[in-house]
Amino acid sequence: MIKAGVIGATGYAGSELIRLLSGHPEAEVSWIGSRSREGEPFHRLYGNMYQVEEISFSNDDLSKALDSCDVLFTATPQGYAASIVNGDLLKKVKLIDLSADFRIKDVSVYEKWYGIEHKAPGFLGEAVYGLCELARDRIGSARIIANPGCYTTCSILSCYPLVKEGIIDPDTLIIDAKSGTSGAGRGAKEANLFCEVNENIKAYGVATHRHTPEIEEQLSYAAGREITVSFTPHLVPMNRGILVTAYASLRKKSDGTVPDTRELLGIYEKYYGKERFIRILPEGVCPETRWVEGSNFTDIGIRADERTGRAVIMGALDNLVKGAAGQAVQNMNLLFGLPESTGLEAAPLFP
């Protein structure tokens, strides 16, 4: 059995990790760290895990705790994972970090967008960006996995094939994204109170959201050059889910026309047709967050708007599963040579 440690299990992404790992046939939760809740059973904080997961929070010295772990998940605020990583830690465990500490290769970009000093720039070069469908050949041998963000996972997976194939002009790419409130974390914030969120939808982080450089960096690799995108997130009154609708100008073919929807779908089949966790929807069907809730699936729909000469690209996923904990488990499976879907085969929840 793979022995997993989790730091940050009091938050939504961390608790989702515990839920998924508790049902994993080849893994078990061996340690969860918390200073403020030392000795408290996990299920007392998350009652859904009563008589499912009996582990309690521990305040053990980290180096001692890692003696009982094969992999460490850090579902923590930015800066924490970088502050603890060192050679001794990586001799004991594989690190899967759910924060942004190792996602962006350029330390100056990280420090600009996150407003903090990076504590471990020497490890950025070896960290692998853990978007499994695009990097599985490098994940298996990695010591540090940078688990992608929720908005970024949906945005990158949705747009990657058309950027990679040069079908769209990536500099015209506009990404409109919407998230449920769990994406903001479990901490008490006035803006996330029920009366503030219910019966409302709002844009936030306009032109400043921290996932922007992550999207740009990964899609720049696909384009083979540096690109800039417009990314605007919105908060909607639901618990879970990310919905992305992206727009970009289609490049004309040699006959002066733009590709039609069936041609675009063919490109997505080329890239994702054999992927377990990406579902390419039939022509005319649009992704909905309710059809991916609680699952590790990403649903993608595509439409060529021949009138405007643009592609309309749509994607949906559960921000706590494929957008966080599920993808982290998927990365763990790859690290330890397990079938990628192990422990992640549950169908989406509805209603």
3-state secondary structure 308-334: CCEEEEEEEECCCHHHHHHHHHHHHHH
- In the prediction, which pLDDT does 68 show? 92
Domain boundaries along the sequence of the chain: 2-126, 151-319
Active-site residue flag, 150:
yes
Q: Token pair 């996972």 is at which residue?
A: 153
Q: How confident is the model at residue 16, as a pLDDT?
A: 97
Asked if the model's pLDDT at residue 184 lies above 90, the reply is no
Residue with tokens 């919105």: 234
pLDDT greater than 90 at residue 35: no
Give the class (CATH, top level) of 2-126: alpha beta
Calpha distance 19→45 (Å, rounded): 13
pLDDT > 80? residue 9:
yes
Given pLDDT bands bounded at 50, 70 and 90, which one contains residue 20?
A: very high
State which amino acid sits at residue 229.
V
Q: Do residues 10 and 186 touch, judged by C-beta distance below 8 A?
A: yes
Mean pLDDT of 279-284: 97
Quick one: residue 79, left, alpha or beta (phi over 0 = left, psi -120 to 50 = alpha)? left
pLDDT above 90: percentage of residues in the chain:
93
Query: How far is residue 164's CA from residue 218's CA, in Å, rounded to a whole number?
Result: 11
Residue in 150, 159, 195, 286 annotated catalytic: 150
Per the CB < 8 A criterion, the answer to whether 245 and 313 are in contact is: yes
pLDDT digits (tens, 9 = 90+) for 152-177: 999 999 999 999 999 999 999 999 99
DSSP states of 162-203 as a string? Answer: HHHTT-B-GGG-EEEEEE-GGGG-SS--GGGSHHHHTT--EE
Contact status, residue 340 vs residue 132, Cβ threshold 8 Å: yes
Percent of the chain with pLDDT over 70: 100
Output the pLDDT for position 219.
Answer: 98
The pLDDT, as a whole number, for residue 178 is 98
Cβ neighbors of 169 (< 8 A, separation 6 or more) are 248, 249, 251
Q: What is the pTM of this model?
A: 0.96
Mean residue pLDDT across the chain:
96
Of 304, 308, 305, 288, nearest to 350 (Cα)? 288
CA distance 86 to 26: 27
Q: Which residues pair with 302 in a beta bridge?
A: 313
Q: What is the per-residue pLDDT for 49? A: 97
Q: What does the pLDDT read at residue 268?
A: 98
Residue 36: predicted pLDDT: 83
Domains 2-126 and 151-319 share a fold: no
On the question of pLDDT at 187 being above 80, the answer is: no
Token pair for 173: 């790419």
Quick: pLDDT tens for 77-105. 999 999 999 999 999 999 999 999 999 99
CATH superfamily, domain 151-319, is: Dihydrodipicolinate Reductase; domain 2 (3.30.360.10)
**Which tokens is 82 given?**
């970088």
Q: Render pLDDT for 252-281 as a digit per residue (tens, 0 to 9).
A: 999 999 999 999 999 999 999 999 999 999
Give the side-chain half-sphere CA count within 13 A for 268.
27
Residue 64, pLDDT > 90, answer: no
